Chains A and B, each alone.
Chain A
Amino acid sequence: MGAREDILHRIRSIVGDGPGTECARSELQEIFRGIPIRRIEEVIPTFCRHVNEAGGETSIVHSWAEAAHRVRDIHPSGPVFVAAHPEFREAGFSSLIQSASGRGEVLEVPEEGMELQVRDVFGSVFARNAAGVGRALYGFADSGAVLLVSSPFECRSLSLLVATHIAVLHESAIFPTFADAVESIEEYVRTSSPGALTLVAGPSKTADIEKVLVTGVHGPSRFAVVIFQNPPLASSTVGGGTR
């Protein structure tokens, strides 16, 4: 018997085939009925606070131009990689960043028909001091995390092989908890089938040496969320989210 058959056989001999999917589903329902729904008051300020506590920073903007300026505030010098996201393109986001004050090239990644490999783009010395600006699909107040999804317009390295990762997030896409967003995420997965989804909470960090917190172990040492508030509100920052 092969390993697969052997293992499956062993399992089946212990529990049989199980009572079937319908039954399993209702049993799960029952389990979840037993836990209280977590309520998060003041979703946006809580989100900002938790991003901060995870070592990240937040700011709230009302226009793409403002967002572009924020990017340059966060990353005044050094190259900026911008995701080729349709929404960014439509807004001309990369040119806006380009024209905002600051030094360093602005490049869209991946460019259409780009032949370059990850290593060519992100392995260079040039990229060591880069910022990566991408979209976040959702945010979660409870954990201060954002959800990234891989797509033809949004590569994984953009949020990983850079010194600073900046995620642009719509305020309306911030859920109280990850659990609250599960249905929306599943819907997104059904239609777009991304290769990977990644929850990001703060920068790359370690406490492996004497529990001293160090950021930027392998991934970005800085993580910022630019929250796009639409329609614009009067005040430009909420919840003391900026650093």
Chain B
Amino acid sequence: MKELFSPRWFKSRASESLPDEALRRNIERATETALKKRADVVGAFPEWESYRTAARAVKEHVLENLSSYLASFEEHARANGSTVLYARDGVEACALVMDIVLSAGTRTVVKSKSMTSEEIGLSAALGRSGIQAVETDLGEYIVQLAGEPPSHITAPALHKSRRDIGRLFEQKLGLPYSDEPETLTAVARSVLRDRFFEAGVGISGVNFGLADSGAICVVENEGNARMATTLPPVHIALMGVEKLLPDMRCLALFLDMLARSATGQRLSSYTSIIRGPKRADEWDGPDVLYIIILDNGRTDIFADSRFRSVLSCIRCGACLNVCPVYRVVGGHAYGSAYPGPIGAVLAPFFHGKEDGRHLPYASSLCGACAEICPVRIDIPRLLLLHRGETVRERRAPLIERFLMKAYACVVKRPALYALTGHLLRAFAPLATDEHGLLRIPTRAKTRTFPAPAEKTFREIWKEEGIGST
């Protein structure tokens, strides 16, 4: 299963999901709604463009000063009573979590939504040691019940219809079938409420870490993250090393952008700024807070200045919503914790250059992602860079390399180039659909291909004798 869930199989997975009309409509409904709401709130925010510029500048500033911000974060977090740990990769991070969970003597862990934990396969790792990690975000809970990975960064179950979810709850929880969102939500609420009280450890992600205070910020709508970070005696926060912001003023800037981009809200329901474990005189809150700072390939991205901008990503998911490819293939086809345009940029880093090489090609380069990205990541440009690497490292298909060589040969020889018109006309009858012998593979099945004109423009121009420069 793990092996199958790899971007290497993008193409075959995509062709499985393409004919799925129901899936398409589920995705369309979800993405259209999110985009419309986003357009409304962003439209009412005249400063948006300058905020985008500033947000990106802040992120770059943080990376430029990462050593000192990290040192400051760590120092303040410790002073506030948190324990700061580091993990080079997913395996180390999972091992750290495991140690903490085991020493807490608990079998139940509640998780709030965290893309970082998906990235490192934390739930599976805990499961292998007999520890039940319960996803508590409704969407995550749904996909966990279904035994699937999330299909979207911010809306994990967006590929499922209410009927799918109704049937799933009926099967897995043995409840009478209902497809009312209210009823289904109430079921999840009551099932999960007990888990929050049982769990010895709560695990969350981190949206932002504040370098000047050692605080972490967790953004959500349901209240499950507040519960997971308040009720269990131990709270583990998983934070990518790039998540730091200098201070609360910068946080204000990013909060203005995150919810607007993700869901079209002005602000998410709950934004928790957790400064440490509960104070001695406070009544509730975790007794201990572990912050695990994760590298897992991030410093490799950091080291390559061409790709550094992807570390500015705030995982808002807007680029997925607007991506024409994502919208027809769905999140699962990508075979990565991060689907969509940003996932295509991350794949060669997180899944290796061989397995990750297809995703950067799975884009029409329409640029809608770059246009919507709140931190102005020029995703198409980064995809082109990946493509360039793939070619440079000779991972591209042989036939393609050959054709491109031929092409480069022709373009610098106008006489030869002019011949292509003749050639095309000669071969066209063989290639056009229906009766053609060659058939342009697959293209012709669903689209007709125009026949070449009788004469190319250059031929006509010459005949008309208007002359040339």
Do A and B bind? yes
A residues with a Cβ closer than 8 A to B are 2-4, 6-8, 10-12, 14-21, 24, 27-28, 31-32, 34-36, 38, 50, 53-54, 109-110, 114, 118-119, 123, 142-145, 150-152, 155-157, 160-161, 177-179, 182, 185-186, 189, 193-212, 214, 216-220
Q: Would you give 17 A-B contacts (Cβ < 8 Å), ordered by A?
A: A24-B246, A28-B58, A35-B54, A123-B193, A145-B271, A150-B282, A157-B230, A161-B227, A179-B256, A195-B285, A196-B274, A196-B285, A200-B269, A204-B221, A207-B155, A209-B184, A214-B185
Q: B455 contacts the other chain (Cβ, under 8 Å)? A: no
CA–CA, A157 to B223, complex, Å? Answer: 11
CA–CA, A189 to B273, complex, Å? Answer: 11
Interchain nearest-CB distance for B223 vs A (Å): 3
- Contact of B66 with A15 in the complex, beta carbons under 8 Å: yes
Interchain nearest-CB distance for A219 vs B (Å): 3
- Contact of B283 with A152 in the complex, beta carbons under 8 Å: yes
Interchain CB contact (< 8 A) of B189 among A24, A109, A216? A216
Interchain nearest-CB distance for B101 vs A (Å): 18
Residues of B close to A14: CB separation below 8 A:
299, 302-303
Chain B interface residue count, CB cutoff 8 Å, equals 94
CA–CA, A205 to B256, complex, Å? Answer: 19
Known: A27-B61, A38-B47. A114 touches B283 (CB 8 A): yes
Q: B349 contacts the other chain (Cβ, under 8 Å)? A: no
Nearest residue (CB) in B for A34 is B54
Known: A199-B267, A206-B185, A214-B185. A11 touches B299 (CB 8 A): yes
CA–CA, A108 to B247, complex, Å? Answer: 35
CA–CA, A153 to B69, complex, Å? Answer: 33
- Contact of B226 with A210 in the complex, beta carbons under 8 Å: no
Interchain nearest-CB distance for B294 vs A (Å): 9
Interchain CB contact (< 8 A) of B275 among A18, A34, A145, A197? A197
- Contact of B67 with A204 in the complex, beta carbons under 8 Å: no
Nearest residue (CB) in A for B304 is A14
Residues of A close to B293: CB separation below 8 A:
7
Interchain nearest-CB distance for B140 vs A (Å): 9
Residues of A close to B61: CB separation below 8 A:
24, 27-28, 31
CA–CA, A203 to B269, complex, Å? Answer: 7
- Contact of B161 with A208 in the complex, beta carbons under 8 Å: no
CA–CA, A150 to B283, complex, Å? Answer: 9
Residues of B close to A54: CB separation below 8 A:
265-267, 269
CA–CA, A54 to B303, complex, Å? Answer: 42
- Contact of B67 with A212 in the complex, beta carbons under 8 Å: no
- Contact of A206 with B222 in the complex, beta carbons under 8 Å: yes
- Contact of A218 with B222 in the complex, beta carbons under 8 Å: yes
Residues of A close to B252: CB separation below 8 A:
177-179, 182
Interchain nearest-CB distance for B178 vs A (Å): 11
Interchain nearest-CB distance for B210 vs A (Å): 11
- Contact of B274 with A195 in the complex, beta carbons under 8 Å: yes
Interchain CB contact (< 8 A) of A194 among B270, B279, B303? B279
